Amino acid sequence: MTTRTVMMLTLLLGAGVFAGVFHALSNDPAAVSISWGIALLIGGISLAFFGDHRFDMFSPLFFIGMSFAFFYGVPAIAPFALENAGAFAGTVVAVQSYYPLAGMTSFLCMLGLFLGYSSSFAAYAGRSSSLLWWRTSACGEKLLWMVLLAMGVGAFLFLLASDVYLQTTEDLESPLFYSAVGFIQSGLYVAIGFAVASAYKNRTTFWIVAALVTFCVALLFGIPSGSKTLALLAFMLSALAVNYAHKPFSRLTAGVGVFFIIAILAVLMPFNVLYRTQLLTSNYAGQSLSESAVMLKQAAGELADMSIEESIDLTLDYSIARLSNLSVVANVLRYQEQGGTLHYGSSYALALFGLIPRFIWPEKPGLTVGQAIAVELGYSDPKAIRLGTEVSNNAVGITMVGEQVYNFSWVLAPFGMALLGMFYRWIYEVFKSGLRIAPRLAVGIYAYWWYGLVFSAHESNFAAIFMGTVKFTVFLFIFFYVLTFKWIAPKTLVSN
């Protein structure tokens, strides 16, 4: 165990002991929740900026630390420190009595994840991996980018043609449709990282144009979707590629970047609410980018007409509810206290079904459990959804901590998080190993891994994210062989 790890553990344990003592002595749920929120905020930011031996804004630990700080820590404080009576307040107010236990559970899970991430075994196994040791010709790289970009564009065109592109879509297609479209859409995520990294490394006209084209395509299809994540996707993955292809961002740059992201989200929150309302109330029969542009303009006009006070109130109300992973954890705890059963890893076991292609077994159970959990936790009326069929898109993101508690209880959840921490350290070291041998290709693949396994997994159930990543990664490796890529075995590298 390194000196840095010991220092970080000392800081985390100190914050945890302070909040724990306050929890034991105080009878005020608000004060206890706030104390755990402060511990999560301090601990999460500390992990993000000082937890890794070498600072890296796009390491798994940075995003996970920041997510604990802002999706668990801040929500433990905000409902009690701010007025919480807006249209979105109901989901938070209903479970506020469970916030003290949810805050404590989240803190213990953060501690468990850090211990797992600090595992020397996971670090060594990742550094020893040659999973991303691939090389090819310049022609093969260009062909790879063109195919990946075509896959991403094709996926979005399919969604538009099927009228299920917008985030407010009510009529769901078959699981096979979404499985296929989601699979080919992943090509765009690899293409962004690969093209931007190649542009910085090669500085040739082709790759500069390729990077600009890929960026603009992601922006074009992301902004009108109604998804804040897709709207920012091109910026996030481009920043990741620059971080590894040019030079790593410093702590100061990362801090300034986080500040600007928060500022952008503060503007996007009310705009996103107004735009999604426009989508829901529109009379358009189909979906197209031109129609979305009209509604984007209307939403911008509504936001401009709002007073500053109204805009701030809407931002706080929506943010407290929408960005509160803690409220989901509290709802899981409420569900279990009121007689709900533990699920003993069933949501993770769904990954086994992912090994069977849906075209072979079209009726296999879905890997996402958002709809079923929405019913169990009371987010959806049971009469509004028939489990096992696709009749509603009411769903809830179970969150990383919530899924552990949902399966194993708050007592055992930190141990499961330790295993996740080991997994994240392993994939990070696998990437860093590949970065030394095939930097541009490694960046492209890691952009996809980071977006799915790190960024998206903090909210979604892990089985769906994990199996989707595994299947597309295997597809990429097979595709590399087709494009005359060569895998460099460790013994070959040593002999050369």
Express each pLDDT in 59-88 by its tens digit.
999 999 999 999 999 989 988 877 655 555
pLDDT at 287 over 90: no
List, for residues 295-312, the tens digit of each pLDDT value: 888 888 888 888 888 787
Quick one: pLDDT at residue 56?
95
Residue partners of 312: CB distance under 8 A and separation at least 6? none
145-168: per-residue pLDDT in tens? 999 999 999 988 888 887 777 766
| pLDDT given at position 393 | 47
Given this model, what pLDDT does residue 384 score?
45
The most confident of 187-191, 311-315, 483-487, by mean pLDDT: 187-191
> Given a cut of 70, is residue 238 above it in pLDDT?
yes
pLDDT band at 270 (very low <50, low <70, confident <90, very high): confident
Report long-range pairs for 204-209 (Cβ below 8 Å, ≥24 apart). Answer: 206/142
H helix runs in 83-202, sequence order: 90-93, 99-117, 120-127, 138-161, 175-202
| Mean pLDDT, rounded, for 283-290 | 68
Residue bearing the bigger pLDDT, 297 or 495: 297
**Contact of 399 with 413, CB cutoff 8 Å:** no
* Interval 98-131: pLDDT, tens: 999 999 999 999 999 999 999 999 999 999 999 9
Question: pTM for the full model?
Answer: 0.89
281, pLDDT greater than 50: yes
**CA dist., res. 83 & res. 97, Å (int):** 16
Does residue 227 have a pLDDT over 70?
Answer: yes
For the chain, the average pLDDT equals 84
What is the per-residue pLDDT across 376-413, written as a single tens digit (0 to 9) for each? 776 655 554 333 333 444 567 788 999 999 999 999 99
Interatomic CA distance for residues 485 and 142, integer angstroms: 12
What average pLDDT does the segment 439-463 reach? 91
pLDDT category at 266 given cuts 50, 70, 90 is confident
Render pLDDT for 421-438 as a digit per residue (tens, 0 to 9).
Answer: 999 999 999 999 999 999
Q: What is the DSSP string of 261-288?
A: HHHHHHHHHHHHHHHHHHHHH---SS--
pLDDT at residue number 85: 52
pLDDT at 286 exceeding the cut of 80: no
What share of the chain has pLDDT > 70, as a percent? 85
In this predicted structure, the answer to whether residue 321 has a pLDDT above a threshold of 70 is no
Question: What mean pLDDT is predicted for residues 313-334?
Answer: 81
Percent of the chain with pLDDT over 90: 47
Residue 234 near residue 219, CB atoms below 8 Å:
yes
* Angle, helices 228-245/251-281, rounded to nearest 10 degrees: 160
The per-residue b/e assignment along 187-197, b for 16 or more CB within 10 angstroms, e otherwise, is bbbbbbbbbbb
- On the CB side of 284, how many CA atoms lie within 13 Å of its CA? 19
Q: Residue written as tokens 């041998």?
A: 437
**Contacts of residue 54, Cβ cutoff 8 Å, sequence gap at least 6:** none
Q: What is the pLDDT of residue 390?
A: 38
- Is residue 494's pLDDT more than 90? no
Query: Is the pLDDT score of 242 beyond 50?
Result: yes
Q: What pLDDT band is residue 314 in, cutting at 50, 70 and 90? A: confident
Whole-angstrom Cα distance, residue 435 to residue 428? 10
Identify the residue whose tokens are 């996971």.
122
Q: Tell me what the mean pLDDT of segment 366-382 comes to.
A: 66
* Distance of alpha carbon 63 from alpha carbon 69, whole angstroms: 10
3-class state of residue 349 by DSSP: helix
pLDDT tens readout for residues 29-54:
999 999 999 999 999 999 999 998 88
Q: Is the pLDDT score of 171 beyond 80?
A: no
